[in-house]
Every structure is written in structure tokens, then in C-alpha cells.
Amino acid sequence: MNYTYRIYPNVVQQTELLSWLETCRGVYNYALRELKDWIASRKCSVDRCSLEKEYIIPADEPFPSYHRQQNNLPKAKKQFPHLGKVHSQVLQNTIRRLHDTWEAFKKRGHGFPRFKKFGQFKSFLFPQFKHNPINGFTIKLPKLGEIPMNLHRPIPDGFKVKQVRVLSRVRGTQWYVVVTIESDISVPDVPVHGRAIGIDLGLQRFLTASDGSFQERPKFFKSMQRKLKLLQRRAARKQKGSQNWEKAQIEVARMHHRIANRRKDFHLKTAHQLCDRAQTIFAEDLNVTGLTRGMLRKDCVDAAFGQFLSLTEWVCWKRGVYFAKVNPNGTSQTCPSCLATVSKGLEVREHHCPECGYRTHRDHAAAEMVLDRGLENVVAQGLWGTETACQVGLSGVYDLDKWRGAGIPNREAGKPAL
């Protein structure tokens, strides 16, 4: 479990942190260069070489793996003394970060690791601590000393600090630490229980629940776009690389950071409101990557559906609420009352079924369909009714009431075979 805190390093510590980031960036790029050169030397056929360039690497040279590059760090410190100023485990974790990216690339088949430009390497990690580095309202980091921090929530009893990641935000003017804490207590998976609702995400209404409630979409980026455009215009008129240009860029970065914070705060509060109303939540398994490539990509990125679903899943786990995703195909084109197909375009905001006459808002009908699919999945998997031992011996009337409380229409009340 991760806790994020704001830290306030002094001028000397801030200069040291920026220097560490640049050193880690150099180590990352150097290790990636070795990796790419070794791969490029194996691209040519055995009977000919490349006409453009030739990589003179012996054929018996092994692959520059994580352990080989990590073992070369002590030799590199003798050749480049500035590497010794950075904690050794921080450099080792930088190599680990590159090879994790390399393994992820081989698994998915695309997204080859790229070189980090100036300012693109924004974090480094202290992977372990012998003692708790947090003392009051300060955190003690190796080779950096004690740094004041805003401990807005204390570390829970029974947890110990495992690792700390230092983050740079707003072009190195704001600093945060992500503290990873661990406990020996094992938390079981949350079972299906209580009142269930389905939610549908959209652009006109950010969220519509199956119980009829909805949440309007705050346009965080669009509401601040005019001011952001003004700041970007001012930055573009400055001489690139000057102090005034850097100040203008910091103002732009601070505005982006504020927009992201407001959006995340809204997502977390909305997720907690859902957990207050239900103990089982079903949502659509949206293709968030595809949504950011269409005509409405700016609105979809501003809404950040992927971040909201991830945060909702985390909040549900933390509060003991069951959360699951269902197939989103056809949820807005199917009548939740009679399951008939009702085709309608995006401009049609009302659902009216010609078969059964059911009429409601389009998003509300989709949310009801999400709930139906979610309950069908848990019944098919045998998950419904396993949350408590006191349910053994319950009458069928109580089971029907529980299904009706979950939002199932009367015509579906007797459908599940429990």
C-alpha cells in the first residue's frame, strides 16, 4: 500500500535531488545504449554486414542483462566519480527499471524503451530501509539527510516502511515521496454482498447509476483552457532557455498539475460516494485507449475514465466493497426490461423500447444493463450468497427481496436459481 506525502527540501537538498535525477538519467541512457548496440549487432545476416554502420561487438559477447550491467556499476564509479554521489541502490534500481521496461516490451510486442531527454526522468527509488525513515514531520533519506514533510496521515500501526520513491513535479519545484508500507496481515478478497448497483460512464453525464442517480461531468481542462492558453502564449514569446522562459514554463506546468489534482480529487470523492450507497459495484470494462483516439478524444482525456475505474477499484478494495467489470458491448443498445435490441445513435439521449414500451434516459438504461450483466456473471460463477454464513437456511422470500434490492426488475426477480 502506498501513501503519498509532500516534502519540502531546502535549496541544497533540492539541488542534490536534481543532480541525482540527471545522474540516474545518464545511467539509464548508457545502459539502454549498450542494449541497443548489442541488438543492432545481431540484426545483420551472418554473411554480410550493414552498409550504413557496423557494430564491432564480438559474437561471443553475452547479452547485457540486468546482473551484468549492475555488476559494472562499481567499475563505472571509478571512471566517473560523480556516480559515487548517488546512493548505490538507487543506481541499481535504475538499471532494474530499464530491464523491467525491456521485459514488458518483449511481452506486448511493441513500445521499445526510449532514451530519456533532459527533465523526463522524474523519480528514483530507495528500495529498502533498515529502520523507519519517518520521524515526526521529517523523513530521513540516505545521503540526503532529514527533509521536512507534510505527514497529513500517519502510518498505521502494524505497518513498516519498505521503500520510498522520490517524485519531482512542476519542473522540479514540487517534491513528493511515495512511501510503500507493508503488513503481515493478509486481506481476503471481497465477496459479493449487500446492495448492488451498475454504473455507466459518459461525456454528457460523467456517471449514471442503475438506481437513477447521476453525476454531471466537470470539465476540468476545458474550464481552465483559456487561462492555460494565455500562459502558453506568454511562454512561447520568451527566449528559449532564458530565466524568464523557465519561469513561464513553471507557470504552465503548475496549471497542468492543478488540473490533474482537481480531476483526481473528483474521482476519489465520487468513488467514495458510490461505496456509501452500495456494497457491490459493477462497471463497464471500457477500452480507454481507443476512446482517446476518436473525435471526442479531448473530452475523453479530460474525463479520464481509466483513472476513475482504477481509483474506484482501489477504493472498493479498501472499504470492503465488491467491484467487477462487465462486457460493455451493446449496453446502450439493449433494453434492460425485455432484453430487446434498440438501436440508437449518440444524438438520441432517451431510451424507448418499441417491444415493451420501457422509457428512460439512455445512460440509465445502460447502467441497468450493466447491473444485469454483473449479476448474471456472479450467479454463473457461484459467487452470490457466499458472503456470510448466516445466509444458510434463508427462505426464498428473503432471496427475492435481496435481488429486488439490487435493482432487478420484477420480471427478473425469480430468474436466478439460488
pLDDT on residue 331: 86
Determine the Cα–Cα distance for residues 307 and 298; give it in Å rounded to an integer.
15
Determine the Cα–Cα distance for residues 62 and 35; give it in Å rounded to an integer.
11
> Who wins on pLDDT, 2 or 40?
2
pLDDT on residue 398: 34
Question: What share of the chain has pLDDT > 70, as a percent?
Answer: 88
| For residues 131-145, average pLDDT | 93
- 51 band by pLDDT with thresholds 50, 70 and 90: low
> Who wins on pLDDT, 90 or 387?
90
Per residue in 191-240, pLDDT tens? 888 899 999 999 989 999 998 889 999 999 989 999 999 999 999 999 99
Non-local CB neighbours of 41 within 8 Å, separated by 6+ positions? 55, 56, 57
Q: Is a pLDDT exceeding 60 seen at residue 418?
A: no
| For residues 133-157, average pLDDT | 93
pLDDT on residue 356: 85
Q: Is a pLDDT exceeding 70 seen at residue 118?
A: yes
| For residues 281-306, average pLDDT | 90
Q: Is a pLDDT exceeding 60 seen at residue 405?
A: no
Per residue in 148-194, pLDDT tens? 999 999 998 889 999 999 999 999 999 999 999 998 888 788 888 88
- 392 band by pLDDT with thresholds 50, 70 and 90: very low
Q: Is a pLDDT exceeding 60 seen at residue 413?
A: no
| For residues 381-393, average pLDDT | 48
